[in-house]
Amino acid sequence: MVLRRGWVDDKSFLAMLALGQVIPGSIGVKMTVLIGQRLRGAAGACVALGGLLAAPFAIVLMVGAAYAGFGEHPILHAVLDGVAAAVIGLTFATGLRSAAQGAPGIAAWGIVAATVVAVGVLRWPLLPVVAALAPLSIGLALIEARGR
Amino acid sequence: MPDGPGGSLLALAIVFAPLSLLSFGGGNAVLADIATQAIVVRHWTSAREFADLFALSRAAPGPGSLLATLIGWKVAGLPGALAATIAFYLPSAVLVFGAARVWERWRGSPWHTAIERGIAPIAAGLLLSGGIVVLRASPAGWPVWMAALLTTAALLRWPRLHPVPLLLAGGALFGALAVL
């Protein structure tokens, strides 16, 4: 989008990327909304988001329908288990890498561990866990920033 | 919760809309809650179906995950798919729309940095938790754990590995083992 269409310049593209983790949502959706907004306001954002989601929506439903048509088949289940295992491996690698990049220091690793224990091991609901840990984690980051 | 199609659409919205606002770093962050809600709390899918829909949603192209779409479709057909997709994508999109400029204006303030640094470890922890919860729910047991951890190790060792061949290899390996 930066190179081909000239819709946004490098600097605002990077600023959009930096919104990254703070505002929830997938990065593709966020970028799409921001670029649509910049070009055509609210209508642009809506059209861009619809355009982004329409084709994958249709494809995933076709895939789902094909799956339902297959019914119970042990080999299909096994293949999907293999795909799921690889996807989870990707998820773990992303999580570990972003923990290492974004969380230098013992306090931040403590927050990572607390999140994993609460949500991954104890299966507590996300909302209260995030509501409790986010202020704590942000507070720790503030204290750390003052100390430097 | 009222029964009937209206009730299930409402239930989909009630589950997915708040998760939209918690998906720090992408849809994967809320995987743990999607799994728990779908399998344990709402009984929308069996553990087997969830594992299948999860794999399908990732094998298909799309922004992050359309797992919500597939679960909505399973619960209430096309209206369910639409309701779940809108509930899962719209709230965070509206938030970006409203908050992006405010957030940019704050750039450089100590709060800006602290919030960015404070959210990062939670986002990372949520990703790891999502993987753990889905593995625990998987009916296939230890082979899936093994394969997932091997994939993790391979990706940490060789970060440039492309995901698609990994997914194909995982599927082919497990499929071949099932045939034998």
**What's residue B73's pLDDT?**
95
**What's residue B5's pLDDT?**
65
Torsion of CA A31, B80, B136, A137, to 10 degrees: 40
pLDDT tens digits, residue range A93-126?
999 988 888 656 888 899 999 999 999 999 999 9
Taking one residue from A and the other from B, the number of pairs with CB-CB distance under 8 angstroms is 351
* SS3 label, residue B158: coil
- The region that residue A125 occupies, defined by phi over 0 for left and psi between -120 and 50 for alpha, beta otherwise, is beta
- Confidence category of residue A17, pLDDT binned at 50, 70, 90: low
Residue of B nearest to A143 (CA): B114
pLDDT reading at A39 higher than 90:
no
- Count helices and strands in chain A by DSSP H and E runs: 5, 0
Question: Is the four-CA dihedral A22, B22, B35, A128 of positive or negative sign?
Answer: positive
Closest-CA distance of chain B to residue A27, Å: 6
Note every long-range contact of A71-74, with CB atoms under 8 Å and residues 24 or more positions apart, other chains counting.
A74/B178
**What's residue B28's pLDDT?**
84
Q: Give the single-character DSSP code of B27.
A: G
**What's residue A148's pLDDT?**
65
Which has more pLDDT, B75 or A11?
Answer: B75
Residue of B nearest to A28 (CA): B63
Average pLDDT for consecutive 10-residue bins of chain B (180 residues)?
73 94 86 94 94 89 77 94 94 85 76 85 92 93 94 93 90 90
- Which of A27, A82, A88 shows the shortest C-beta gap to B174? A82
